[in-house]
Chain A
Amino acid sequence: MPTSFVLNGKATTLDADPNMPLLWAIREVAGLPGTKFGCGMALCGACSVHLDGQSIRSCVTPLASVAGREVRTIEGLQSHAAKAVQAAWIALQVPQCGYCQSGQIMSAAALLEKNASPTDADIDGAMSGNICRCATYSRIRAGIHAAARSIKAQV
């Protein structure tokens, strides 16, 4: 049964099992492989995407549940906050293996879109669901603060 939703700003219909997790629908059916598989149980955040602006775990989100809603992946990031996060990630050389970073960036962008000046505690709250086995956490934290500063400087 086809499911229709907005994917990275474009009306999209995917003909796939409605119970298929959104992760596999966007990767294997829509062909957007930037979102990663890490645990399949919403424990690691590698599969984070935005659903109506919230960072969610696509590995446990059935495709049918996003019908009529707006999904954004790393491939479709456009907001000022998201661009600031990506720029900070490059400036601070955040990634190591890089596998979790799409998810980290999605969670960081969602945080900054809601909270322009996150504290360390806010960052802990928003980012503790995103595991990085390379433990790039210090740079992720610094990257979010740097992105917040650059967004303010632009305003």
Chain B
Amino acid sequence: MSADTAVPRRRTRREFLKEAGTVTAVALTIGFEWAGTSRRASALAAARTRSTFTPNAFVRIGADDSVTVIAKHLEMGQGAYTGIATIVAEELDADWTQIRVESAPADAKRYANLAFGTMQGTGGSSAMANSWTQLREAGAKARAMLLAAAAKGWKVPAAELTVDKGIIYHAGSKRQATFGSLVATAASLPVPDTVTLKDPKDFELIGHQAPRVDVPAKVDGTAQFTLDVALPGMLVALLKRAPQFGATVKSFDASAATRVKGVVKVVQVPRGVAVIAQSFWAAKQGRDALIVEWDDNNAEKRSSAALMEEYRRLADQPARSARKDGDAVAAIRDATHRMSASYEFPFLAHAPMEPLDAVVKLTSNSCEIWAGDQFQTVDQANAARTAGLDPQQVSIHTLYAGGSFGRRANPYSDYIVEAVSIAKAYGADGTPIKLQWTREDDIHGGLYRPMYYHKLEAGLSDQKELTGWRHVIVGQSILSGTLMEFMVKDGIDPTSVEGAANIAYVIPNVSVELATTKTGVPTLWWRVVGSSHTTFAVEAFIDEVAHAAGQDGFTFRRRLLEHHPRMKGVLELAAEKAGWSGAPLPKGKGRGIAVAEAFKTFVAQVAEVSVDDKGYVSVDRVVCAVDCGIPINPDVIAAQMEGGIGFGLGAVLYGAITLKEGRVEQDNFNSYRVLRMNEMPKVEVHIVPSMEAPTGVGEPGVAPVGPAVANAIFAATGKRVYVLPFPKPGTA
């Protein structure tokens, strides 16, 4: 499986270095061959010199029977490589053990994310959805050409041939041939214009959980991350950045830093002062010794508490309308029973396990980048602008990313631009330089999930019918001021209101409003984007409304979702599997439910919590139902739900970036706490069978867990949660 089998012997570091040196000296295409998979997968340049069959931009079949699938998407843990390979292998009828995956170069023409238009990138849980038809056709066309090659050689009609696990058979003449034996002939044949895709009932890999292509290398330590890139003569840079967002370098004293053994150079760049050294440790000591004076004239100096106070005030001012059905204000005013609640959400850091890093090799006419790159063509353009080159002169080797959760997909390309600017300041002489962020750099580094304040009001009739719903959201826009600003329509950033403006419940009068704020704190999408806060507000408040209406949360929601079979479907499945209507839980325990639609995937979760005498909460169990269309790989889907639940749970229990006088108060995993092993609930995942086109699973599982837990805490204690994270860690 994957290219690991290509070179069975484990290489020593020295051998690898030697080879990496050779590889980079040869050409770009070889460079990306060892990128993104395993160091053992170096797949020897020799293999490329033999004949191969490359029918399109996504498949390459070797004379050795290997089937290499070219991935235009980043593998950051979400299983994209496996999903991509599964789709191609299915239509090709390849043997799963023949499959390798290789990362694509930056090239918007061939490798654009079709959900994004003309840019190459990974995000919005779109990898499977946008690749589905494209890769099925790529696999099917390759198969048709291999069949044509066999038919030509055997002088039999192609219609009499069958394919099973990478071998083509002709029953009549009892002949058979492997893919590899046909590559030379296949390569000489025309690519068909059209091709018939499989009937989904004939799928053999899709829906049947092929093992992940990246797991073996991630179990023996050979998986290639950016941290692991070691090129001959490579230097390591650490960058000292301003302690407040918007501050700039006034002056610096590098005398002590340059005295550190191993420090090569100290350079000023737009984002700070970089210490470039022969090793991480020398760069770290050099940076510790560096003295920088900052100009804070344009810095954001407010505290997050002051920002939230301003947000609360703004929630009572007129805001822009994101959705208006009927007259919510009048309906609530005239209601028999009125209720309101507000919810506060902090800034959140993504904190992927691999701190941001990038390797740049810059010359006067070329820029080569190695990174867990998530926005290839955006990063290419930003790198080119920084280097003073054309985008075509910038090549990107996309490696495995040690997590991202949105952080590496950013329109500013912050860490890439930093690395290029350092290489430029160093002299652009072709010396490879690895920019390494520390965990403190990551926690202090901005591009957080924005802070938000939500205010909700609802009205119930004397029959306890929900007649009016008003939802006001206050917070920063993620898209404004970026190259994606075109998505902001009439002052509404869709990422601020998704999950709220499209509330699925049938309510006659709905108003969703947005007040967009400006701060000096740079912000970015964070796993599941808008639904990371909107789902909490909607699902916590609807639970409160259900309680006021005298109904349980499940029954109340289901009645308002009669028109929406997929949303209702996951709700019912989760409730059934969790035993919602079974025996009540003992005292001190509670059950809560929540449902969400994110990126056209539907997820419902039921959480069970225990709350002890001191108010400490433990989440015992989460039952999850998901409808993501045709399940391409059920085990990967389950893993993404499990992981999404753990990720979301850590955030509601502990996650917060706070500012005091503009300075971030957290530093590392001691003060920016995330979920740990002992806090992980038991998770059960149930997948709704479906023949709809597949949608994504990387993010949606994050959305419902917070409100499901908050609603369970209410069931256990009678107390509602209005401020995230829970005010005292681990307590309600």
Contacts and interface: CB of A to CB of B under 8 A. Distances in A.
Contacts of B221: 33-35, 73-75, 102
B677 A137 contact: yes
A6 interface: no
Contacts of B676: 128-129, 131, 137
A38 B436 CA distance: 11
A97 B643 CA distance: 11
A37 B281 CA distance: 12
A4 B225 CA distance: 29
B680 A96 contact: no
B415 to A, nearest CB: 15
A21 interface: yes
B223 interface: yes
A127 B680 CA distance: 12
B402 interface: yes
Nearest to B17: A31
B699 to A, nearest CB: 13
Given A31-B13, A39-B669, A97-B76, A133 B683 contact: no
Interface string A4-35: 00000000000001001100100111111111
A93 B220 contact: no
Q: Does more than half of chain A's interface fall in helix, strand or loop, or is it mixed?
A: loop
Interface in A78-111: 86, 89-90, 93-102, 105
Contacts of A24: 279-281
Interface string A121-149: 00110011111111111111100000000
A44 interface: yes
Nearest to A99: B402
A57 interface: no
B379 interface: no
Given A44-B353, A89-B219, A134-B403, A140 B214 contact: no
Interface stretch (B136-144, B265-273, B584-592, B644-652): B644-652
A138 B683 contact: yes
B376 interface: no
Nearest to B1: A90
Q: How large is the interface on B (under 10, 10 to 19, 20 to 34, 35 or more residues)?
A: 35 or more
Interface string B197-238: 000000000000001101111111111010110100000000
A101 B403 CA distance: 12
Contact of B353 (A35, A46, A75, A127): A46
A78 B677 CA distance: 25
Interface in B4-19: 10, 12-14, 16-17
Contacts of B354: 36, 38, 97, 99
B405 interface: yes
A44 B673 CA distance: 10
B669 A43 contact: yes
Contacts of A33: 13, 39, 221, 227-228, 230
Contact of A128 (B39, B212, B214, B678): B678
Interface residues of A, number: 56
Nearest to B698: A96
Contacts of A53: none
A35 B211 CA distance: 24
B635 to A, nearest CB: 6
Contacts of B261: 17
Nearest to A130: B677
Nearest to A106: B221
Given A40-B438, A90-B219, A96-B77, A135 B227 contact: no
Contacts of A131: 353, 669, 674, 676
Interface string B240-282: 0000000000000000000001000000000000000001110
Interface of B: 10, 12-14, 16-17, 39, 76-79, 211-212, 214-223, 225, 227-228, 230, 261, 279-281, 351-355, 400-405, 436, 438-440, 635, 639-640, 642-647, 649-650, 668-670, 674-678, 680, 682-683
Given A130-B677, A135-B647, 8 more contacts: A17-B281, A38-B439, A39-B669, A97-B76, A97-B354, A99-B352, A129-B676, A134-B646
Interface of A: 17, 20-21, 24, 27-41, 43-44, 46, 73-75, 86, 89-90, 93-102, 105, 123-124, 127-141
